[in-house]
Structure 1
Amino acid sequence: MTWDGMKVLAVIPARGGSKGIPRKNLRQVGGISLIGWAAKCAHALSWIDAVVLSTDDEEMAAEGRAQGLEVPFLRPPEFATDVADAIGMWRHAWLESERAFGQRFDLSILLQPTTPLRNPADVERTLRALVEGGHRSATTVSPVPGHFTPEKTLRRDDRGRLSYYLAEGARHSNRQSIPDYCHRNGICYAVDRETLVDCGRIIADDCVGVMVEGFVVNIDEPIELELAEFMFERQRRAGSIEGE
């Protein structure tokens, strides 16, 4: 347990309300709930000292306990709305966990259930980048496809006419001339106590991105559940993942 003598808390957020997919965190991929997938990843990492579920919902809490998670508190309503920010939720979970377990956690990782097919090795790489690089926070990222970059993005005015989002977009006729962009993929966030608890930051001035190659499923819409099931079956046949 611990990482180089530092206590690590894993937080899995799972509020009860969700608009795109009702009761989303209880939905299953490969016979395992989204909460269960996040729990499975956390349990595979021996350096995590405590794994808690942050939820406002008793059914989510029951599923968390069934998956071996600690649920020492219920999330207050102000941290469970559609517009509640992740910083407040994570900070609340951190402080409540310290009260519940009677210990201080030096580092924390956030594992969102909506990215169920994550590889624990990517989570470990994220914490390693945070600690060994001396950064304040870290998060996994994926490359932005060339056709979704600002240079390829267009604006459409109220008459339907198109123009480049960036004025220099017309100069980028091939993807080789476009800078490398990345986006957060939801696999893992990692942060030290001072940055989140004291300063209320996640993407801080010194946040390192850990690149994850390959396709990452992040579930917000019903079709993405189907896509996750497809990717699970593909990985299962390849022998790289196991379901229920």
Structure 2
Amino acid sequence: MARHGFSVLAVIPARGGSKGIPRKNLCKVAGLSLVEHAAIIAKGLTWIDSCVLSTDDPEIAAEGRRCGLDVPFLRPAELASDKATGVAAWQHAWLESEAAFERRFDCSVLLQPTTPLRTVEDVTSTIDAMLLGGHRAATTISRVPGHFTPEKLMLLKEGQVSFLHPDGARHSNRQSIPAYYTRNGLCYAAMREAVVDRMEIVETDCAGVITVGHVANIDEPIDLAFAEFLAMRGRAE
């Protein structure tokens, strides 16, 4: 197995601690844990060479194994705190996986359980954008709604509002506002050089893959309710 001749490692990062939703990665959407949602997509990626769950938590590790994921290591506590960066945890998982499987991986995809409604097509499009475009990384992105763009944002000082953007006053219609995009967490892809050597994801040479529809990115309890709604109605609703 490989993608366009490159060996691929899939990493599912799922630390145990979470302030917004305790035990978040074990919460369920549409009857499946967030870990299981990620595992199902990983199994559908026929070009994946290996897939690992990166966690510091024995209960989450057990859930990963139940879902058919490899858990060849536990993440150290310093990479599972609120202050730990995602790229550091990804780098650790990459190197530990190479040691466990005794092989080198050319590239990797990161499948965060907190965006459970991704599709196989989301992941495939992301890695293809990177590999076929000759980039070091790629990420899925969503267009920012017009009322959340810089031209629409306001500052509040001493009870008075003002526009954040110097041209904000002339953008009464969202159609006049440039297109802005934000990472939506459905998929990250990176070459080994980006994560292992440079500890970068989107900083330089990262392709953007636009996805259509709403994305549930779970941080707070209301996000779980939104994910349940999307699971019933579909992401494009």
Matched, 1:84 2:119: no
TM-superposed CA distance for 1:30, in Å, is 1.0
Number of residue pairs the alignment of both structures matches? 236
Q: Distance in 2 between matches of 1:224 and 1:4?
A: 36
Q: Distance in 2 between matches of 1:204 and 1:193?
A: 15
Deviations 1:11-46, CA, capped at 9 Å, x for gaps: 000000000000000011111100000000110010
TM-superposed CA distance for 1:6, in Å, is 1.1
Q: Distance in 1 between matches of 2:105 and 2:19?
A: 33
Matched, 1:181 2:180: yes
When normalised by structure 2's length, the TM-score is 0.97
TM-superposed CA distance for 1:139, in Å, is 0.1
Deviates more, 1:226-235 or 1:53-62: 226-235
**SS of structure 2 residue aligned to 1:53:** strand
Contact (CA 8 Å) 2:140, 2:183: kept in 1 or not? yes
Deviations 1:171-217, CA, capped at 9 Å, x for gaps: 21111111000100000000000111011111132111100011111
Identify the residue that residue 40 of structure 1 maps to in structure 2.
40
Matched, 1:59 2:59: yes
Matched, 1:20 2:20: yes
TM-superposed CA distance for 1:163, in Å, is 0.5
Identify the residue that residue 191 of structure 2 maps to in structure 1.
192
Q: Distance in 1 between matches of 2:186 and 2:234?
A: 17
Q: Which runs of 5+ in 2 are unaligned?
A: none
TM-superposed CA distance for 1:167, in Å, is 1.0
Identify the residue that residue 208 of structure 2 maps to in structure 1.
209
Q: Distance in 2 between matches of 1:151 and 1:235?
A: 30
TM-superposed CA distance for 1:235, in Å, is 3.5
User: 1:1-244 alignment to 2 at 5 Å?
Assistant: 1-157=1-157, 159-235=158-234
When normalised by structure 1's length, the TM-score is 0.95
Deviations 1:57-98, CA, capped at 9 Å, x for gaps: 000000000001000000001100011001110000000000
Identify the residue that residue 242 of structure 1 maps to in structure 2.
none
Contact (CA 8 Å) 1:137, 1:204: kept in 2 or not? no
Contact (CA 8 Å) 1:6, 1:107: kept in 2 or not? yes
Identity %: 61
